[in-house]
Amino acid sequence: MTSRRVAVLACAVLVSAAAAQQSSSINIPFEQYVLPNGLTVLLSQDHSTPTVAVNVWYHVGSKNESPGRTGFAHLFEHVMFTGSGHVPYGLHDKLTEGVGGSNNGTTSNDRTTYYETVPSNYLESALWLEADRMGYLLDTLDIAKLNAQRDIVKNERRQSYDNQPYGRASEILSAATYPPSNPYSWDVIGSMDDLSAASEADVKSFFKLYYAPNNAFLSSEQGARAREAAGAARAGVDPHGARQWRRAGRL
* Domain of 237, in residue numbers: 29-250
Q: Is residue 208 part of a domain?
A: yes
- pLDDT at position 241 is 33
- pLDDT at position 196 is 95
- pLDDT at position 234 is 55
Q: Is residue 141 part of a domain?
A: yes
Q: Is residue 179 part of a domain?
A: yes
- pLDDT at position 99 is 96
* Sign of the CA dihedral with 244 first, then 219, 209, and 90 last: positive
Q: Is residue 46 part of a domain?
A: yes
- pLDDT at position 158 is 97
- Per residue of the chain (251 residues), give pLDDT as tens: 455 554 545 555 555 555 555 556 788 888 898 988 899 999 888 878 889 999 999 999 999 999 999 999 999 999 999 999 999 999 999 999 999 999 999 999 999 999 999 998 899 899 999 999 999 999 999 999 999 999 999 999 999 999 999 999 999 999 999 999 999 999 999 999 999 999 999 989 999 999 999 999 999 887 445 555 555 555 555 433 322 322 222 22
- pLDDT at position 164 is 93
Q: Please give the Cα distance from 120 to 126 (Å, whole number).
A: 10
Query: Which of 227, 248, 226, 249 minimizes the C-alpha distance to 47?
Result: 226
Per the CB < 8 A criterion, the answer to whether 109 and 184 are in contact is: yes
Half-sphere exposure of 48 (CA within 13 A, CB side): 4
Q: How many domains does the chain have?
A: 1
- pLDDT at position 248 is 29
Q: Is residue 6 part of a domain?
A: no
Q: Is residue 93 part of a domain?
A: yes
- pLDDT at position 9 is 54
Q: Is residue 24 part of a domain?
A: no
Q: Please give the Cα distance from 137 to 56 (Å, whole number).
A: 15
Q: Is residue 7 part of a domain?
A: no
CATH number of the CATH domain containing 240: 3.30.830.10
